Amino acid sequence: MVLSYREALNQAMREEMRRDRRVFLIGEEVGYYQGAFKVSKGFVEEFGPERVLDTPIAEAGFTGLAIGAAMAGLHPIVELMTFNFSILAMDQIVNNAAKIRYMSGGQLSIPLVIRGPGSAAHGLGAQHSQSLEAWFCHVPGLTVIAPATPHDAKGLLKSAIRDRNPVIFIESQLLYGTKGEVAEVEYTVPIGKAEVKREGTDVTIVAYSKMLLLALEAADELARSGIHAEVIDPRTLKPFDLSTVVASVKKTGRMVIVEEGWRFCGLGAQIVDSVSSQAFDYLDAPIVRVTGEEVPMPYSRPLEDAAIPDKARIIAAVNSVTGRG
């Protein structure tokens, strides 16, 4: 069946809350308002206010509450109105959620999902348009997921809810209305497994979240000029499925990484380091990164468009590594 990204997330949480009474949803306006992006539509009516908890605007407070609930054996899902607000809860996420299992000698688990929208979304300004996934990937103890399609969003969210460790689950704000095929049968998508979204022989493109859709568009256009790009969606950013990417690079000999975040210390830099350590002798050209500009995100739509990767920049990068640029 065809579902929107928003509907796929809704279905994943609904199924898991029906399956396991320990699962509950907490966050700003998740109940009677049905979520800032309507992901929790119909939840309070089905599960009641005891399992769908509206909170004050206090990210550190309700994230800490959820961590405590996880320590006590519940399975909280924290919805952040935007991942930009996770900055207010970073002490709870980094010093508690990520470390309690280690500091308790494995006596305590934190089965917790922190999810919500991230990255730019058409004129929301510098404080509401940031791609912060590299921050979370840097922290031992956190799993980081950024799905691009409704199928992957549903399957990975179900896997995240069932996991015994804290999961950061980032949803691009511009993906909620996108649609795709979602299986009607029960399924999960494994955490830590990338997927080749398009087969190719000339260059490997690695892209995640909404950048994947741009990469696939670029690959379609490149194919018309005789360049066949293999497009890989990591889906899980940490742990990162290096083996799938390395196998592709050994086949194509060239690589382009597309990420919306800032270049310096960005996720792509780690991917370059990891791939180079295992496949350097197979590379026929330097790895090229296509990233967001090193600026706070502009409010102006034309300036915002200039600050984030687009199809033309991806095509130019591919042309440069294949000798067409």
Contact 232, 245 (CB under 8 A): yes
Q: Does residue 291 surpass a pLDDT of 70?
A: yes
| Same domain, residue pair 144 and 211 | no
Helices (H), the chain: 5-19, 43-47, 59-71, 90, 100-103, 133-137, 150-162, 210-224, 242-252, 267-279, 301-307, 311-321
- Confirm whether 187 is domain-assigned: no
**Nearest CA-CA partner of 171 in 45, 95, 112, 83:** 83
Residue 324: what pLDDT? 78
- The pTM score is 0.97
pLDDT digits (tens, 9 = 90+) for 2-56: 999 999 999 999 999 999 999 999 999 999 999 999 999 999 999 999 999 999 9
| Same domain, residue pair 27 and 104 | yes
Domain boundary among 115, 148, 181: 181
Q: Which CATH number belongs to the domain containing residue 153 in this structure?
A: 3.40.50.970
Determine what percent of the chain is predicted with pLDDT higher than 70: 100
Q: Does residue 201 surpass a pLDDT of 80?
A: yes
Q: Does residue 325 surpass a pLDDT of 70?
A: no
* Whole-number Å distance between alpha carbons of 278 and 65: 42
Q: Which CATH number belongs to the domain containing residue 250 in this structure?
A: 3.40.50.920
Residue 297: what pLDDT? 95
Mean pLDDT of the chain: 97
Stated length of the chain: 325
| Same domain, residue pair 28 and 155 | yes
Q: Are strands 2-4 and 179-181 parallel, antiparallel or unpaired?
A: antiparallel
- Confirm whether 60 is domain-assigned: yes
Q: How confident is the model at residue 191 (pLDDT cuts 50, 70, 90)?
A: very high
Which residues form the domain of 90?
Answer: 2-181
Domain count for the chain: 2
pLDDT digits (tens, 9 = 90+) for 236-269: 999 999 999 999 999 999 999 999 999 999 999 9
- Confirm whether 274 is domain-assigned: yes
Residue 305: what pLDDT? 94
Residue 71 phi, psi (nearest 5): -60, -30
- Confirm whether 186 is domain-assigned: no
| Same domain, residue pair 245 and 143 | no
Domain boundary among 133, 154, 181: 181
pLDDT digits (tens, 9 = 90+) for 132-161: 999 999 999 999 999 999 999 999 999 999
- Confirm whether 166 is domain-assigned: yes
| Same domain, residue pair 161 and 23 | yes
Contact 294, 308 (CB under 8 A): no
- Confirm whether 188 is domain-assigned: no
| Same domain, residue pair 213 and 161 | no
**Nearest CA-CA partner of 89 in 58, 110, 56, 68:** 58
* Whole-number Å distance between alpha carbons of 110 and 100: 8
Q: Does residue 239 have a cis peptide bond before it, meaning omega lies within 30 degrees of 0?
A: yes
Residue 148, CA atoms < 13 Å, CB-side half-sphere = 23
Residue 269: what pLDDT? 98
- List active site positions: 59, 128
